[in-house]
């Protein structure tokens, strides 16, 4: 009941139809936060792509300059580079033994799975288990790699994966409400720049159609795409 009342109070305090600049949206999302925990801040882009077309899928990774504020748990499949993975901070490292544990019902309580190319025949058999949870290593996201240590360190430092859903939307975490506003803005611009960089050549018309920023418990705040474009020009 308390959350319902808080949410109702929040919705009375802002105009849901207002389209704000990036800095204004960040400040509003921070001010509307009411949870007793440090809420995640996420940005959602509705892209002008046809998600049914293979050549218009948007997927990859982006390194946030200020991280996400979340402790990322990383699992690595490796043989020769197992020690390097552990030294870089991987939480769980293994080979066939690890695959057997996962196939046997091991809890999938981690965030990123990384594998060396030689381990993919083993990991590939776990596709039906890892795939639905978004935990399957993929070359497109850099999680199938010959440089395990570097990749583990990057994800621990704030690299995040992104991919469009079947409606052409991309959701990416950009920090916590406790972050300074400037850091959230920096992270948002980094994501926007990355999505522009990977725009499919076959995508026609307006690319970033709608943008919204929200915290875990808060409402979505509309963001002006032109504001993002202007800030990216200043930054470049």
Report which of 66, 50, 9 is spatially closest to residue 207, judged by C-alpha positions.
Answer: 50
Q: Phi and psi for 90 in degrees, rounded to 5?
A: -60, 140
- Judged against a pLDDT cut of 60, whether residue 1 lies above it is answered with no
Lowest-pLDDT choice from 12-21, 124-133, 165-174, 198-207: 12-21
- Judged against a pLDDT cut of 50, whether residue 28 lies above it is answered with yes
- Judged against a pLDDT cut of 80, whether residue 46 lies above it is answered with yes
All domains in the chain, ordered by first residue: 16-68+159-235 (3.30.190.20), 74-157 (3.40.50.790)
Axis crossing angle, helix 225-235 with helix 22-32, rounded to the nearest 10? 120
Encoded tokens for 13: 């305090």
Rounded Cα–Cα distance for residues 3 and 86 (Å): 41
The pTM score is 0.85
Report which of 63, 39, 3, 35 is spatially closest to residue 178, judged by C-alpha positions.
Answer: 39
- Judged against a pLDDT cut of 90, whether residue 20 lies above it is answered with yes
Mean pLDDT of 20-36: 93
The predicted structure's pLDDT at residue 34? 83
The predicted structure's pLDDT at residue 9? 63
- Judged against a pLDDT cut of 60, whether residue 184 lies above it is answered with yes
Contact indicator for 221, 213 with CB cutoff of 8 Å = yes
Q: Where residue 110 falls among pLDDT bands split at 50, 70, 90?
A: very high
- State the DSSP string of 27-84: HHHHHH---SS--EEEEEEEES--TTSGGG--EEEEE-TT--SSPPPEEEE-STTHHH
**Percentage of the chain exceeding pLDDT 70:** 94
The predicted structure's pLDDT at residue 6? 61
pLDDT digits (tens, 9 = 90+) for 189-232: 999 999 999 999 999 999 999 999 999 999 999 999 999 999 99
Q: Where residue 147 falls among pLDDT bands split at 50, 70, 90?
A: very high
The predicted structure's pLDDT at residue 236? 74
pLDDT digits (tens, 9 = 90+) for 118-135: 999 999 999 999 999 999
Contact indicator for 156, 124 with CB cutoff of 8 Å = no
- Judged against a pLDDT cut of 70, whether residue 5 lies above it is answered with no
- Judged against a pLDDT cut of 80, whether residue 60 lies above it is answered with yes
The predicted structure's pLDDT at residue 75? 98
């Amino acid at each position: 009941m308390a959350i319902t009342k808080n949410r109702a109070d929040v919705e009375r305090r802002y105009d849901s139809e207002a389209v704000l600049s990036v800095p204004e949206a960040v400040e509003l999302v921070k001010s509307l936060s009411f949870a007793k925990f440090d809420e995640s801040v996420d940005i959602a882009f509705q892209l002008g792509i046809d998600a049914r077309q293979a050549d218009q899928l948007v997927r990859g990774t982006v390194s946030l300059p200020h991280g996400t504020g979340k402790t990322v748990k990383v699992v690595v499949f490796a043989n020769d580079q197992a020690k390097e993975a552990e030294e870089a901070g991987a939480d769980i490292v293994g080979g066939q033994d690890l695959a057997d544990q996962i196939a046997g019902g091991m809890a999938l309580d981690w965030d990123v799975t990384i594998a060396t190319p030689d381990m993919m025949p083993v990991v590939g058999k776990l596709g039906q288990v890892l795939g639905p949870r978004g935990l399957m290593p993929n070359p497109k996201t850099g999680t199938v790699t010959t440089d395990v240590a570097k990749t583990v360190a990057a994800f621990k430092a704030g690299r995040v994966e992104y991919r469009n859903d079947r409606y052409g939307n991309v959701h990416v975490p950009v920090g916590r409400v406790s972050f300074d506003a400037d850091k959230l803005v920096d992270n948002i611009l980094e994501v926007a720049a990355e999505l522009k960089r990977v725009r499919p050549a076959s995508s026609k018309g307006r690319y970033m159609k709608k943008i919204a920023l929200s915290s875990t418990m808060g409402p979505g705040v509309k963001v002006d795409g032109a504001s993002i474009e202007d800030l990216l020009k200043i930054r470049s």
